Structure 1
Amino acid sequence: MRTPTAMIVGIVLGPCGLVLNLTSTLAPAWRDLSRIPDQAYDMIQHQGIWDICNEFQGTQKTQCNIKDTLGYFSHQTVQVAKGLMPSSVAVTVLGLVVASLGVRCWQDMPQYLLAGLGGLLLFVSGLLSLIAVSWYNHDIQNLPITAGSSLAVGYCLVLGYLGSCLEIIGGFSLSLSFAQCCKERKLKKAAMDYSYPPSSQRVPATTAAVSPSFGNTEIQMDYYRTPTPRSYTNPQDVLESEHPSNWSRFPCDSDL
């Protein structure tokens, strides 16, 4: 069986979103400060959620682990991003593992339930990172800043938006596997209802027997109490009046 298109889309976009979000989480470039007073004119300060780096454009040198003197890392928005971004990366990895077990790799038929669960995890991870990036972007002006410096959005926010969108789209695409899973369950249930009761549980009504006592003939048919179409109960196109239940008790009528 060929892998469904929805699964291919999800299993491709998921890792792409993971790479982008992981880069956005680790890189110190959520916002950039330039023209900082009492600093070199060509210096740009990159502020992330874990570290602060100073980059000098003239010499192409970068200094990291800059001390936070403004209380930037203690701001609520940065603290929220510190919690949501690693959580999003962890949930993304878990979702990709579950989805890879569901998508057809070494088996003939895909496991739609596992693929759907993996897609749901990817969707949730995309929402987590999107909340963190959007919240930071909304409060970027309210974060501590040196007076007189210029502020610009860092590339990590752009990567975070892209990674979140890719994970949301990929997760939604994989979550469509739930529809196929429900469809298979309905087909199995319908097949079970059609074949109920099982052949092992069918109870024979009576056994054909002939009682020769006093010339009385007792005819009892051996059949199963299972509703079947008339074409199967009457294969020889016998009239209803000639059904064995309507036979008289006289031997001659029985022989006829």
Structure 2
Amino acid sequence: MASKTVQMVCVALSAIGLIGVIICCALPEWSVTNQGDMEAHYGLWKACVKYTTGPQECRTYIGSWLPSEMHSFRALTIISCMLGILSLLLLLFGSDFTPCVQNENTKPKMILAAGVGLILTGLLVIIPVSWKTHDMRNIPMLVVRVMLGASIYIGFIAGLMLMLTGGLLCYLSRSSSSGGTASFFSNRV
């Protein structure tokens, strides 16, 4: 009973983390600049400019305008999204509360693979977010003030949540191979 509950919580946490990674990838909120009556929001895919007197105007980036690091950020976050989806599916199918896999010897291996995948998913989203944060902190302050956007914070939180959930799953699958997850909790509680 305890292993099913822990697995359900891990599924919920990894789903929330995956949603955070997708939001981090999609929102144009990686950096924000303020200059007079204009506020510009920059993301991986587009830039939006908002004037105090009018509506917001967004433009999609053209590939030749982007620096090479933005292509790297895009690639890492997309790989993170795909790996997170795959890991979440492995966790769902390998969990004790779903009857998808009948072989009881395969379930701990699937959960271990899901845990490793979630750790890598979190790491792959933290790398571009940290890189962008480092680059923004080293920009000399001229006329334009550059601030961190909401996607940076969402990416950090989602990455940490996924890495912690993956670590918990790896720990529990390791202990389940030596005596089962239920016996692990019955010995501790």
Query: Could you tell me the TM-score, scaled by structure 1's length?
Result: 0.61
Q: Specify the SS of the correspondent of 1:64.
A: strand
CA distances 1:191-226 after superposition (whole Å, capped 9, x unpaired): xxxxxxxxxxxxxxxxxxxxxxxxxxxxxxxxxxxx
How many Å apart are 1:3 and its aligned residue?
A: 3.3
How many Å apart are 1:112 and its aligned residue?
A: 1.9
Out of 54, 58, 61, the residue aligned to residue 64 of structure 1 is: 58
Give 2:18's aligned residue: 18
How many Å apart are 1:164 and its aligned residue?
A: 0.4
Distance 1:115 1:27 in 2: 31
How many Å apart are 1:123 and its aligned residue?
A: 0.8
Distance 1:120 1:136 in 2: 25
Give 1:148's aligned residue: 143
Give 1:98's aligned residue: 90
How many Å apart are 1:43 and its aligned residue?
A: 1.5
Task: Tell me: CA distance 1:181–1:100, structure 2 relative to 1, closer, same or farther (3 Å).
Answer: same
Letter in 2 for 1:14: S
CA RMSD of aligned residues (A): 2.7
Distance 2:119 2:8 in 1: 16
For the pair shown, which has the larger CA radius of gyration, 1 or 2? 1
Equivalent residues of 2:45, 2:61 under 8 A apart: no
Give 1:120's aligned residue: 116
How many Å apart are 1:178 and its aligned residue?
A: 2.5
Distance 2:25 2:164 in 1: 20
Query: Could you tell me the TM-score, scaled by structure 2's length?
Result: 0.81
Paired residues for 1:181-200 under 5 Å: 181-184=176-179
Out of 133, 152, 174, the residue aligned to residue 179 of structure 1 is: 174
**Structure 1 or 2: more strand by fraction:** 2
Distance 1:57 1:121 in 2: 44
Equivalent residues of 2:87, 2:113 under 8 A apart: yes
Equivalent residues of 2:50, 2:56 under 8 A apart: yes
Paired residues for 1:17-56 under 5 Å: 17-35=17-35, 41-56=36-51
Distance 2:85 2:52 in 1: 37
Equivalent residues of 1:113, 1:181 under 8 A apart: no
CA distances 1:214-247 after superposition (whole Å, capped 9, x unpaired): xxxxxxxxxxxxxxxxxxxxxxxxxxxxxxxxxx
Identity of aligned residues (%): 21
Letter in 2 for 1:25: C
Higher relative contact order, chain-length normalized (CA < 8 Å, sep 6+): 2
Distance 1:98 1:136 in 2: 31
Q: Specify the SS of the correspondent of 1:49.
A: coil
CA distances 1:153-172 after superposition (whole Å, capped 9, x unpaired): 11110110111011111111
How many Å apart are 1:105 and its aligned residue?
A: 2.7
Q: Specify the SS of the correspondent of 2:143.
A: coil
How many pairs align? 175
Q: Specify the SS of the correspondent of 1:104.
A: coil
Give 1:169's aligned residue: 164
Letter in 2 for 1:88: S
Letter in 1 for 2:58: C
